[in-house]
Structure formats: C-alpha cells, structure tokens
Amino acid sequence: MTREMRGTASACSNIALIKYWGKRDFTDNIPLNGSLSMTLSQATTTTTVIWDDTLSQDEIYLDGERVLDGRGLRVSRYLDRIRADYYRMPARVASMNSFPAGTGIASSASGFAALATAAFAAMGEEMPSDTEMTRWARRGSGSACRSIHGGFVEWLPGTSDADSTAVQLAGEDFWDLRDLVVLVSRAPKAISSSEGHKIATRHPFMAARQELLPARMLATKGAVAARDLMTLGALVEQEALEMHAIMMSGQPAALYMQPGTLKLLHAIRAWREDGLPVFFTLDAGPNVHVLCESRDAPEVRARIEQLMPGLSILENRAGPGVRVHEDHLL
C-alpha cells in the first residue's frame, strides 16, 4: 500500500541576547551555557514534509531548487534521527525562507524548528509537547530550539539530551521591542558557526565566561521582565562583544566584523550619547541587530539610512512560535 503523509509548519528565526557559543556535546547540540533570545517576526521559514514510501531516497528542495550538497545531507541526516524512532520511509521536503539566503540571518534556527514540526505534523498523529519539540529542533541546530516559542525565550542548557530544552519567558505581545537587522555585507562567512562552536569550546577565555554568565543571565531576565531597555541594552552589547572577543582571538581566529559593522556600532554609541535609546547585538557575521523601542524605530531607521545609504534593513518585532498550517509548499 502506498502511504503519503504531509505536514507544513512555519517558524521565525531568533536573535540571541545571551549567546550560545560553545558546546558540551556536538551530537545532540548540548550547549556550554544557557541562552536567551527574541523570536524575529520578519524572518520566517516555511517547510513542507511528505513521508512517501514510493521514494527511493529523500528529495530536498530549498528556496525552489533541489539541493544535493551538504545542506541536503544535513536535512537527510536529521530525518534519519526521526526515522530511527518513527517512520522508516524517505521524505520529500520543500523549504522557503521569507528572507534571502546567505544574508547572515540565521536560517538554521527557523529552518530546523520548521522542519522538525513539519516532519511530526506529517505523521498525522498527536504532536509531541512544545518541550519535546524544542528537543527535536535542538538536535537539528542548537539555536532552533528557541524558535519553537514566540516572544522571549530561554534555553535551559541542561547536561544531556533529556534536560536541554527551551521555555518561553514572555509572549510576543509582552514588549514591543524592535530589532532592525542591518545587512552590512553579504560576503560568505570564512568560518561556519559549527566550526566556530568547536573553536570556542577549546578557547582559554571560555572558563572565565562560564563563571560570569549566570549573573549576566539573571540580570538580562530581570531587564526583560521589567521591559528596561537601558539595562538590557548594556548587558546585550557586553555579551555580543564578549562573544566576538572569543571569536577574534580563537585558533583559528574569526573576524566577522566588516568596516560597515564597526561604523554602525560607533554610530549607535554616539546616538545614545545624544539621548536616543538604541543598542546593538551581533551574531556570527557582519550584520548588526539594532535594538530600540517601537516609538524610536522610525528615527533609528532614518539615522541608519542617512549614515549608510542603500543597505537593506529588516525590521522585526517579537514574533510568534512555530505553527502548523495547511498552506503546503508541495
């Protein structure tokens, strides 16, 4: 008998305010420390999975193109983990990003949150709990566990596959914080985040970072709970620069910042001196995430456009968690 089972899910990417950089375990993506993120409303991946026992192997389509390279292999390896516990049949998978690929916006976070959810939705049985889905997303890409939830999310690091899960701290309507992602450079990364995690894990500064992180995490959670941007912003900038200090001084070293990155970081600090409450964070790349209150977003956008004309800016608010729906791609 031929069986075909289809499911579709959409998930938003997220920006880490406290970073996941360094792993305790590389198979299950168990992090060295907890992290905290905001889900990003405007950076969405939609994925359809069809389990199909008439296929001889997986067929993976990303942004409309069949992929046969490492990206397709990563998806197939991931599906193997689901197959080990559930259906043993091949799958046809299609995935579309709302944002252009290769811009440095983390597509693995939204990508694996959507893939995990679509894969389970396609089984046509009761979905696992949200907590269990954070485990499944994390096994694909660590940061993806935070994209299962909307709003503000904490990844409780745990020490094993069973206890490393993500929880929602506040929903997407809790605080109308904005993250304007400024696409400073589209140059491909010299060092992937997977490689970066390995370099970070053996970095001599990592022990000191682990000692000071619990206090920073507590203060960051307090600042989110109080919707206190001045406190949050100071913590988040320190955190981003600390991560980049580890990146820049690792073996091999990763210099993700470009001239445009630094130009914008200095401008943000100058605007703040001027009285505009605006802060930055960075991912493993040159793009700048500019954080401000919604009422200041038009002014912040105008200043960025004046400083660096022509750059794309993607303005996010806190986005929703992953959702299953019927707008199938296949």
Backbone conformation region of residue 158, classed left if phi is above 0, alpha if psi is from -120 to 50, else beta:
left
- Binding-residue pattern over the window 107 to 146 for ligand DP6, x denoting contact by CB under 6 A: -x--------------------------------xxx---
Is residue 194 part of the contact set for ligand DP6 (CB under 6 A)?
yes
Task: Compute the 3-state secondary structure of the chain and give helix, strand, coil in percent, each to the nearest 5.
Answer: 40, 25, 35
Binding segment toward ligand DP6, per CB under 6 A, in 56-64, 159-167, 193-201, 222-230: 193-201
Task: Choose between 104 and 233: whose C-beta lies nearer to ligand DP6.
Answer: 104
Is residue 271 part of the contact set for ligand DP6 (CB under 6 A)?
no
What contacts 275, CB < 8 A, 6 or more positions away?
none
* Residue 231 CB burial class (10 angstroms; 0-12, 13-18, ≥19): middle
Judge contact between 99 and 10, C-beta under 8 A: no
Contact pick of 9, 11, 19, 52 for ligand DP6 (by CB under 6 A): 19
- φ, ψ of residue 59 to 5 degrees: the values are -120, 120
Task: Choose between 50 and 137: whose C-beta lies nearer to ligand DP6.
Answer: 137
Closest separation in Å from C-beta 284 to ligand DP6? 4
As a whole number of angstroms, the distance between CA 244 and CA 284 comes to: 8
Task: Choose between 20 and 136: whose C-beta lies nearer to ligand DP6.
Answer: 20
As a whole number of angstroms, the distance between CA 310 and CA 5 comes to: 45
Task: Choose between 106 and 213: whose C-beta lies nearer to ligand DP6.
Answer: 106
Closest separation in Å from C-beta 196 to ligand DP6? 7
Alpha carbon distances (Å) from 83 to 79, 88, 90, 139: 6, 5, 9, 14
Give me the helix-helix angle, 259-273 and 297-307, nearest 10°: 130
Contact pick of 13, 35, 164, 261 for ligand DP6 (by CB under 6 A): 35
Query: How many residues at the interface with ligand DP6, by CB under 6 A?
Result: 16
Is residue 201 part of the contact set for ligand DP6 (CB under 6 A)?
no
Q: Which residues bind ligand DP6 (CB under 6 A)?
A: 16, 19-21, 29, 35, 106, 108, 141-143, 193-194, 197, 283-284
